[in-house]
Amino acid sequence: MGKPTGFLETKRELPADRDPVERLQDFDEIHLHLSDATLREQGGRCMDCGVPFCHTGTTLPVNSPFASGCPINNLIPEWNDLVYRGLWHEALDRLHKTNNFPEFTGRVCPAPCEGSCVLGINDPAVTIKNIEVSIIDKAWEQGWVVPQPPHRRTGKTVAVVGSGPAGMCAAMQLNRAGHRVTVYERSDRIGGLLMYGIPNMKLDKRYVQRRVEQMEAEGIRFVTKTEIGKDIPAQTLIDNHDAVVLCIGALKPRDLPKPGRQLKGIHQALDFLHANTKSLLDSNLADGNYICAKDKNVIVLGGGDTGTDCVGTSLRHGCKSLYQFDIIPEPPMERSPDNPWPEWPKVYKLDYGQEEAKALHGEDPRKYLLSTVNFLDDGSGNVRGLVTQEVEWVKTAGGPPFREVPGSEREWPAELVLLSMGWLGPQDTIPEALGLERDQRSNVKAEAGKYMTSIPGVFAAGDVRRGMSLVVWAFKEGREAARECDRYLMGTTSLP
């Protein structure tokens, strides 16, 4: 604790964002930066709270759908104190003890740590996320982040399948333990959802690429444009390596099988986002190899971060109009009684995409308590709109927790509809090829903390094991799976 009275004297302050209308002209990152002096003051707000819930990621009781705190157990009070004291290099050391890639979580994580900050019970929480990203950004600027190849090699080989957040963490940890690690990625670039699932304005891809280059310098081999189960048989991978870690995500999207779903112009959100970022990186969108929203009426179905990313991307294309529909009620302005601290606060917020839409069109694009009835054909096989019906949420003994409101149907124009309604589990290619045991949600079955699948030497981590979740949970699972894989290979482990 740097300053005992800091939380009493200093108000929470975040860096300004670029003007919403101005930033719609490009795909550059939207956030600006605070001065070192201001960051030190913000670090001084971290109080001697006795029990720092922020850095203890834990699953709350079974009747709650939420978790509390940081899943990777970041040493938050320690590096807040060090930033306040101006000891930035020491703060970096603490940060890297638990987080391989804090520049990613510092940009895209929703910060469950701040939701469980003790100061946040009755005052605005400490700016944990912003301090985190400021530490690592300064470290890169100062040249403190350098390759750390292992001092010795074990002679063991490990294949990591998938280069998203879980795969990158697992690969870095296993390589530093001395194993020869090869990462297989079916896309043309390394990074998984970090590269192609999150738009550039939220996570500039140069930050991903510089970590890839660091990992290559440490001895990790990356193989792109190679899909296991198609280009290389899954069993061959097992036969040719001492262990395999599956980090293939949970990318089977939830669909909306309503009349008219087959019409052209209806796309899954991730297809839309992936194609946009690839075209942006390949040609600054000059090649036209993406789903374009320019001059179209766009409707995004579903909320969450992915829906927001669809909103922000469509606006940058120059869409004609934009709405975002959700079947849930509008979140309250303050915590509801059934959402107490230290749970993540489920409250209304204007994220970057909605802020941009409001600045451009004068209103929040989100509409709540709407269910899609059917899609409308323009006569040539293209979508021209959709019909919604209002719903109201009710408590029921069984079935859906809502009912439709008679006579509330409404037609909305849309030449582009983006489905952002979540995911149903991992794609089946590898699990079926290997005959891996699955859980009731179709995820690959592997016990938490151990990560071994039903096949000895084959581990599963991240969304493929737990279902679609936050980047920070993928980091946790990738690091822990690497630890257990190292233990399997060597009989013991020094990995955290």
The DSSP secondary structure of 375-401, one letter per residue, reads EEE-SSSBEEEEEEEEEEE---SSS-S
Mean residue pLDDT across the chain: 95
pLDDT of residue 318: 98
State whether 429 and 396 are in the same domain. Answer: no
Tokens in use for 430?
Answer: 């590898």
Q: How confident is the model at residue 343 (pLDDT cuts 50, 70, 90)?
A: confident
pLDDT of residue 70: 94
State whether 72 and 216 are in the same domain. Answer: no
State whether 105 and 29 are in the same domain. Answer: yes
Any domain includes 152: no
Cβ pair 476, 71 in contact under 8 A: yes
State whether 305 and 172 are in the same domain. Answer: no
pLDDT tens per residue across span 61-72: 655 556 789 999
State whether 228 and 98 are in the same domain. Answer: no
- Of 112, 142, 172, the last residue of a domain is 142
State whether 59 and 189 are in the same domain. Answer: no
| Mean pLDDT of the 246-258 span | 96
Look up the pTM and report it.
Answer: 0.94
How many folded domains does the chain comprise?
Answer: 3
Domain extent, residue 174, equals: 157-251+424-490
Any domain includes 150: no
CA distance 152 to 177: 8
**CATH code of residue 436:** 3.50.50.60
State whether 66 and 136 are in the same domain. Answer: yes
Any domain includes 149: no
State whether 174 and 277 are in the same domain. Answer: no
3-state secondary structure 101-150: CHHHHHHHCCCHHHHCCHHHHCCCCCCHHHHHHHHHHHHHHHCCCCCCCC
State whether 349 and 303 are in the same domain. Answer: yes
| Mean pLDDT of the 324-348 span | 92
State whether 220 and 330 are in the same domain. Answer: no
Any domain includes 1: no
- Of 419, 452, 467, the last residue of a domain is 419
**CATH code of residue 67:** 1.10.1060.10
pLDDT tens per residue across span 158-215: 999 999 999 999 999 999 999 999 999 999 999 999 999 999 999 999 999 999 999 9
Q: How confident is the model at residue 16 (pLDDT cuts 50, 70, 90)?
A: very high
Any domain includes 458: yes
Q: How far is CA 60 from the centre of its chain?
A: 21
- Of 400, 419, 438, the last residue of a domain is 419
Any domain includes 148: no
Any domain includes 208: yes
State whether 168 and 277 are in the same domain. Answer: no
